[in-house]
Amino acid sequence: MEQSPAETPVHVHHHAVQFYGNDCSLYKTVAGFLSEGLIAEEPALIIATQGHCLGILRALSDRLIDVDKARSRGDLLVLDAQDTLKLFMSDGVPDSSAFESQVGSVIDQLLRGRHRRTIVRAYGEMVDVLWKQGLEDAAIRLEILWNTLAARYGFALLCGYSMGNFYKQAQQFEEVCKQHTHVMDPDTNVVPFVPKRPAV
């Protein structure tokens, strides 16, 4: 049966990338992006390395976000990038079915019980982890899988890449940019714009 317009979910495809030169700048940008959503009652997801998770959480606290309360209420979910990669990587390549199942279930968890037009704001650096391991093709593949997942869910994704990854790699830098709807200059600390869903 065909869904009526009122029943059909509205998808917001917002996939930004932040190329950062230092961690402090990254923390400010990510915290600005996520806190703006949390204040608007949009759930947030962080998939980052342990050190970056701690830095981002501190930056959120600096923005007067009650991190413990947000996590206990299920408004903020924090996952380790390495552990999450293990759930869907196979022989150095992201498995599309496993990715959709594992990461899709996380998005489902954050959206459960919320208005169908709720946007999840997510920050991820699994791609950066893969790039630093020399798995550039796998990182690009993962970006594509994120875009495919966006066709099913309403979420806004911000990816982080260290600028050190792209020394003398102009072609690969351009390929990464092509996978994103917004490309942010290094260390600008500008919060990526996220379009609002139209009112029902």
| Alpha-carbon gap, residue 82 to 21, rounded angstroms | 21
Q: What is the DSSP string of 38-103?
A: HHTT--EEEEE-HHHHHHHHHHHHHTT--HHHHHHTTSEEEEEHHHHHHTTEETTEE-HHHHHHHH
Closest by CA position to 152, among listed 42, 46, 9: 9
Q: Is residue 189 part of a domain?
A: no
For 67-71, the CB contacts below 8 A with 24+ separation are 70/38, 70/44
2 exposed, middle or buried (CB, 10 Å; 0-12, 13-18, 19+)? exposed
Q: Is residue 34 part of a domain?
A: yes
Q: Residue 142 maps to which CATH number? A: 3.40.50.300
pLDDT digits (tens, 9 = 90+) for 40-52: 999 999 999 999 9
Q: Is residue 196 part of a domain?
A: no
Which residue type sits at 124?
A: G
Q: Is residue 166 part of a domain?
A: yes
Residue 75 pLDDT more than 60? Answer: yes
In three-state secondary structure terms, 150 is helix
State pTM to two decimals: 0.81
Q: Is residue 5 part of a domain?
A: no
Q: Is residue 159 part of a domain?
A: yes
pLDDT digits (tens, 9 = 90+) for 9-51: 334 567 777 777 889 989 998 999 999 999 999 999 999 999 9
| Alpha-carbon gap, residue 6 to 184, rounded angstroms | 34
Contact between 46 and 53 under an 8 Å Cβ cutoff? The reply is yes
Q: Is residue 147 part of a domain?
A: yes
Closest by CA position to 26, among listed 132, 143, 160: 160
Query: What is the residue range of 102's domain?
Result: 13-184
Q: Is residue 150 part of a domain?
A: yes
pLDDT digits (tens, 9 = 90+) for 102-136: 999 999 999 888 877 788 999 999 998 998 898 98
Domains in the chain, number: 1
